[in-house]
Amino acid sequence: MTVRTRFAPSPTGFLHIGGARTALFNYLFARHHGGQYLLRIEDTDKARSTPEAVDQIIRSLAWLELPPDEPPVFQSAREARHAEVARELLAKGAAYLAYDTAEELAAMRTAAEAEKRPFRYDGSRWIDGATPPEGVAPVIRIKAPRGGETVVHDLVQGEVRVAHAELDDMIILRSDGSPTYLHAVVVDDHDMAITHVIRGDDHLTNTFRQCMVYDAMGWERPAFAHIPLIHGADGAKLSKRHGAVGVGEFENQGFLPEAVCNYLLRLGWGHGDEEFVRRERAIALFDLADVGRSASRMDYAKLTHLNGQYLRQADDQRLVDAVLARTGPTPHAARIASLMPTLKERAKSLNEIVAGVAFALTDTAPTPDGKAAALLTPETKPHLRAISDILAQTPWDKAAIEAAMRSYAETHAIKLGTVAQPMRAALTGSTTSPPVDAVLVALGREESLARLRGAAG
């Protein structure tokens, strides 16, 4: 058997971080078993589905490096096939035409509420051959099994059962000829030869209804694995009040895709105490048996810390390109490259690197902020004039620059910081930056001396 999994989002909004984890688990499981991972866009909700959402989902998956192995399947393009299967079930007696009006269905629900019982559709009169009323377009309902129970051997949740008394004859084809979601999903999964359905455990109750279609058609059921949802730190369903929830938001906040995927992998799956798990190792290790049954809690601090680790190990040129993608074209890309080794050592996000390199992207010194301005005093400005004259004669590399600064401090019996901090303020407009020698090398001799002398007055 060739393992085939699928990620099946609805294009009604951004790709949620929980959906991204589902896609990741499907991808890793397929790769671990040498199979295929597919994408199906479930766009049958025409009122809410948008092309923009489709584009955003595909772009987010590409950013996460989770592209499908085959072109995406659009569920809306398969409605004729969904209807064909519904009519096949009708022809073989596994489904029937139901002519209930909206008013009749409302009355059934009202009666169930009055009797304080769950609403279960009773279509016995149509099964028994009642005369169809005129002017009512019928729906097709599948015949739910009577007596007994359905058992699902879930690869995460274990054995799950539901009594058939809890199921009713669900609609599979609406009166306008459009399929219902629960029916379309089964037809698509069967036709796409999906062997493993890995999805959130909020779909678990749907599984028993979908099994009715599999069993009535005589199709082999796929293996099911329902993974727990992601909650906020307070245990509630993850929402915007907890922080970023869309994949695009994490990208915009400067997280690396491999850090996001690593963090999502560890939300609900684990391999001992191993926290830093790169893609190749994740593929080698991933198994649904290691997925827990309890909901995971999103911890943005842990994700930020992990992102910092990935930044430190990232290729410098890749990070330079990422910064330029945020800042736009600049004639000072070489300055970014020069500063990157020191910037990435302390940064926790790409946005921090962008902020940290801003001073180098201008042709003049930035206006000092309040703390930096406070360092440019009548007492420190003479040091700036003097050190600039010394640096004008110094070889332009970090070792020579650092030696010149230390020699100056020793000669004047002052701490190195007494001269270095005003220099930082003059060069960057801030009290925080990469080491001053690195800043000087990145800016170059001419620009550095111009900034120091300009601040000295």
pTM of the model: 0.92
Q: Which single residue is written with the structure tokens 């930035």?
A: 366
Residues 6+ apart with CB under 8 A from 411: none
Smallest CA-to-CA distance from 254 within 158, 153, 344, 136 is with 344
What's the rounded Cα separation, in Å, for the pair 81 and 77?
9
Per CATH, the number for 78-184 is: 3.90.800.10
Q: From the CB of residue 230, how many other CB atoms can be counted at a distance below 10 Å?
A: 24
Smallest CA-to-CA distance from 330 within 293, 298, 358 is with 358
Per-residue pLDDT of the chain (457 residues), as tens digits, is: 899 999 999 999 899 999 999 999 999 999 999 999 999 999 988 888 999 999 999 999 999 999 999 999 999 999 999 999 999 999 999 999 999 988 989 999 999 899 888 888 988 889 988 999 998 999 999 999 999 999 999 999 999 999 999 999 999 999 999 999 999 999 999 999 999 999 999 999 999 999 999 999 999 999 999 999 999 888 888 877 777 789 999 999 999 999 999 999 999 898 888 999 999 999 999 999 999 999 999 999 999 999 999 999 999 999 999 999 999 999 999 999 999 999 999 999 999 999 999 999 999 999 999 999 999 999 999 999 999 999 999 999 999 999 999 999 999 999 999 999 999 999 999 999 999 999 999 999 999 999 999 999 8
Q: Which fold has domain 370-456?
A: Arc Repressor Mutant, subunit A (1.10.10)
CB-side neighbour CA atoms (13 Å) of 83: 11
pLDDT tens digits for range 344-374? 999 999 999 999 999 999 999 999 999 999 9
Q: Where in 119-181 does DSSP place strands (E)?
A: 139-142, 149-154, 158-163, 171-173
Predicted local distance difference test score (pLDDT) of residue 410: 96
- CA end-to-end span of the chain, whole Å? 77
pLDDT tens digits for range 141-158? 999 999 999 999 999 999
What's the rounded Cα separation, in Å, for the pair 78 and 22?
24
Q: H helices of 225-268, where?
A: 247-252, 257-265
What's the rounded Cα separation, in Å, for the pair 95 and 91?
8
Q: Where in 12-76 does DSSP place strands (E)?
A: 36-41, 73-74
Predicted local distance difference test score (pLDDT) of residue 370: 95
Predicted local distance difference test score (pLDDT) of residue 47: 84
> With b meaning 16 or more CB within 10 Å and e meaning fewer, what string describes 8-27?
bbbbeebbbbbbbbbbbbbb
Per CATH, the number for 1-70+228-313 is: 3.40.50.620
Predicted local distance difference test score (pLDDT) of residue 184: 97
Pair of tokens at residue 339? 């500063």
Q: What is the identity of the amino acid at 28? A: L
Active site residues: 240
116: annotated binding-site residue? Answer: no
